[in-house]
Structure 1
Amino acid sequence: MTRRELGDAATTVVAEGSELLIERVFAAPRELVWAAMTVPKHLAHWIGPHGTTTEVVELDLRPGGRWRWINRTDDGEVAFHGEYLEVDLPKRLVRTTAPDMEPAGGPPAVETITFEEVDGGTRVHWVTTFPSPEVLDFAVGTGMTLGILEQFERLAGLLAQD
């Protein structure tokens, strides 16, 4: 398995096998980071790359609850959806995720996001397990990595405002 380091100085992004690891420490308390990542009015301000506006259509934060949002840019829009499998406020989220597409694009990926208090901030450790290495390669090939880096920059900026 080839390990690919795709991050920058602030955000670790590593693709290996069928897993994508994203990690960053934010200079904010865990409860604030949790809220930014789970409350629709906050989520809409940072999810997606620069130039993206996001509409949170659904967010039912409980095991079995569904979520859906639409990212819009000048080039069009793409929607994502999934189901929460585990919610342990403010420590851990596990959810499925998939783009909305016709026909359905196969099984969803599973995201496990943990929020760890560290000296002066919160470490977000986000592992996405894709259905196969090929699906991860396809996602990375779409430019997803740049989007991750930019959205985490946007999240850091949002957290700095509070």
Structure 2
Amino acid sequence: MSRRELGDAATTVVADGSELVIERVFAAPRELVWAAMTVPQHLAHWIGPHGTTTEVVELDLRPGGRWKWINRYDGGEIAFQGEYLEVDPPKRLVRTTAPDLEPAGGPPAVETITFDEVDGGTRVLWVTVFPAPEVLDFAVDSGMITGILEQYERLADLVAQG
């Protein structure tokens, strides 16, 4: 796959090789954005595209801790799970991520999420390295980018409420 720029006016999204890079500045303090992305009751309000409800089944925020949530939408659901590899509040998270499928798929992707203070807001840089370029291509072609852009809109709305 060649480099593809897939974002919108508010969120930069670039797919290149096996790497997906998402960047957005939220008009909120870093601690608030961190909490929105790591506290189960907050996650349930924004993770997933418009029309999705989310159940956070597990969230053990520590290195070696597991996480799992289920996104429900008209006609179905999909669960995602992984393990936290690094937790440095409120600066950085590194975790594995994969759909929770039976039988299990291939190796998980690795997400590195950094939270930087910038001009009264927080820049979130979310870099996901997929196991292979073909896996990223499949995710992009299945509509993943629309979901990312919509969930970031939902996150922006949530942190704007304080």
With the length of structure 2 as denominator, give the TM-score of the two structures: 0.99
Q: Which residue of 1 aligns with 2:102?
A: 102
Q: Which residue of 2 aligns with 1:52?
A: 52
Q: Tell me the secondary structure at the aligned position of residue 64 of structure 1.
A: coil
1:122 Cα deviation (Å)? 0.1
Q: Which residue of 2 aligns with 1:10?
A: 10
CA distance in 1, matches of 2:105, 2:7: 26
CA distance in 2, matches of 1:101, 1:65: 20
Q: Which residue of 1 aligns with 2:143?
A: 143
1:64 Cα deviation (Å)? 0.0
- Residues 115-145 of structure 1: CA deviation (Å, up to 9, x unaligned): 0000010000000000000000001011000
Q: Residue type matched to 2:78 in 1?
A: V
- Map 1:38-49 → 2, pairs under 5 A: 38-49=38-49
1:66 Cα deviation (Å)? 0.1
CA distance in 1, matches of 2:127, 2:75: 28
Q: Which residue of 1 aligns with 2:29?
A: 29
Q: Which runs of 5+ in 1 are unaligned?
A: none
Q: Residue type matched to 1:154 in 2?
A: R
CA distance in 1, matches of 2:161, 2:150: 17
Q: Residue type matched to 2:130 in 1?
A: F
CA distance in 2, matches of 1:10, 1:161: 18
CA distance in 2, matches of 1:91, 1:102: 34
Regions of 4+ moved over 6 Å: none
1:102 Cα deviation (Å)? 1.3
Question: How many residue pairs were aligned?
Answer: 162
Q: Which runs of 5+ in 2 are unaligned?
A: none
- Residues 94-124 of structure 1: CA deviation (Å, up to 9, x unaligned): 0000001111110000000000000010000
Q: Residue type matched to 2:159 in 1?
A: L
With the length of structure 1 as denominator, give the TM-score of the two structures: 0.99
Q: Tell me the secondary structure at the aligned position of residue 67 of structure 2.
A: strand
CA distance in 2, matches of 1:134, 1:74: 28
Q: Which residue of 1 aligns with 2:159?
A: 159
Identity rate, percent: 86
CA distance in 1, matches of 2:159, 2:90: 16
Q: Which residue of 2 aligns with 1:93?
A: 93
- Residues 64-106 of structure 1: CA deviation (Å, up to 9, x unaligned): 0000000000120000000000000000000000001111110
CA distance in 1, matches of 2:51, 2:93: 27
CA distance in 1, matches of 2:153, 2:94: 22
1:151 Cα deviation (Å)? 0.1
CA distance in 2, matches of 1:114, 1:96: 15
CA distance in 2, matches of 1:104, 1:141: 21
Q: Tell me the secondary structure at the aligned position of residue 42 of structure 1.
A: helix
